[in-house]
Structure 1
Amino acid sequence: MSMERARRDRFTSIAPSAGEFKAACILTGLFFFLVTPLVVQAVIGFATSGHFALPNAHLLDAYGGLLHGQFGVGLRPSVAETLPPHALMWVLTAVGEVLVLGAAAVVGMWMRGLTGATSLHGLATPAQAAEALGVPRLRKSADVVRPDLYARSQRRGPVRSKRRAANQPEERTL
């Protein structure tokens, strides 16, 4: 492995970009939004009849029933009859959606902190740097810490080594 490749591998960011993170959040949120009514139906069906009320082969029928405001479509009739009234099922679904949204927000914030998306992992905040080094030292070495913001005014050209500058005159080519 060459030195350049090792250096490039060390400084390559593996954190997802902001666009990738947003797309993953949107797709995950959409999945959980669509699956929550069926999970609530399954849990309530298990509580009332002892069987999980999942529409295994009739998923499109179940979502069609939900679009029309009816739970139990696509299930066996014996399980569908034991479900509570539709209004109560919608209230329980809304509670389930709030719980899922809260859990997704907590997990999303944890993942963002873990992967470093939209953060500066490894860099100190200005307050941490001032606490560690002291404000006078930070101001004295501002051109080293942030050369993009605090450039030295006496520097006019590229930096040359002191040995070359002392021993050899500068060559100019036209």
Structure 2
Amino acid sequence: MQRERRRDPYPWTWEIPTAVMLATLFVIVIGIQLGRSVANLLAGAGWTWPDANAGTFPSPIGTAFWTSLPGVLTGHADAGLPSPTPDGLAGRGLVWTGLALTEIALLTATIWVGVYTYQRWGPGRMRGMATSAEAEKLLGVTRLRKVAGIVRPDLYGKHAATEPVHRAAGDATDRPGPALGQGLSPWLLDRRLTKEER
């Protein structure tokens, strides 16, 4: 299954890179407006957002959202805001700092989500592998405790001894045959028995 994944990769067509590019551009544009809003919030003017009703062409988020981008990039904290604008808007330095920090945070989150999505559902994903939740369900401690009577009936079964049996590492009294290797570890004892059986 993994050999097939390496030899027959999913073909890259124009739709996937275009979708990635458009999503990245939208995150950058949102970051510009968020950075300005964060700068105004830190300056004490409150949360500000472009006027959704102003403008000449229709847009679901408002024309001023798009037309105010050049003004915000030049450091004008009042570009595209509904009038009257609040007092105490951020200065150019604070606007540019807010833009830089917001863009860095958003692009880092976008890259992380993109890498996770690519590894989880992309053409290079691991096929046939269980998720951690599925592995826990089948092989975890909860499952082992549930089937303890089947796995170790001598300790957890219906007819288990009331007192647990304690054995030392070199105890070989319950092994069949001559008493070989007294004081040896169980691994060495198994190796010695295997050689004698040959």
- TM-score with structure 2 setting the length: 0.46
2:26 and 2:127 map into 1 onto residues whose CA distance is 34
Matches within 5 A, 1:23-172: 23-47=18-42, 48-56=44-52, 57=54, 58-117=64-123, 119=124, 121-122=126-127
Name the SS of the counterpart of 1:37 in structure 2.
Answer: helix
Matched residue type, 2:100: A
Structure 1 portions without partners, runs of 5+: 1-12, 125-174
Matched residue type, 2:90: P
Matched residue type, 1:53: W
Report Cα offsets for 1:29-80 as digits up to 9, x if no partner: 1111112111122234345233433332323441231354422112135545
Q: Is the 8 A contact 2:49 2:81 kept in 1?
A: yes
Q: Is the 8 A contact 1:40 1:92 kept in 2?
A: yes
Matched residue type, 1:99: A
Name the SS of the counterpart of 1:65 in structure 2.
Answer: helix
Greater shift in the superposed pair: 43-52 or 96-105:
43-52
Q: What is the Cα-based RMSD across aligned positions, in Å?
A: 3.0
CA spacing shift, 1:93–1:20, aligned 2, 3 Å: same
2:48 and 2:30 map into 1 onto residues whose CA distance is 14
Name the SS of the counterpart of 1:107 in structure 2.
Answer: helix
Q: Pick the structure with more helix per residue.
A: 1
Structure 2 portions without partners, runs of 5+: 1-7, 55-63, 130-198
Percent identity reads 22
Matched residue type, 1:122: R
Q: Is the 8 A contact 1:40 1:96 kept in 2?
A: yes
Q: Is the 8 A contact 2:35 2:101 kept in 1?
A: no
Name the SS of the counterpart of 2:68 in structure 1.
Answer: helix
- TM-score with structure 1 setting the length: 0.51
Offset of 1:18 from its aligned partner?
Answer: 5.9
1:34 and 1:80 map into 2 onto residues whose CA distance is 23
Report Cα offsets for 1:126-160 as digits up to 9, x if no partner: xxxxxxxxxxxxxxxxxxxxxxxxxxxxxxxxxxx
Name the SS of the counterpart of 2:117 in structure 1.
Answer: helix
Name the SS of the counterpart of 2:114 in structure 1.
Answer: helix
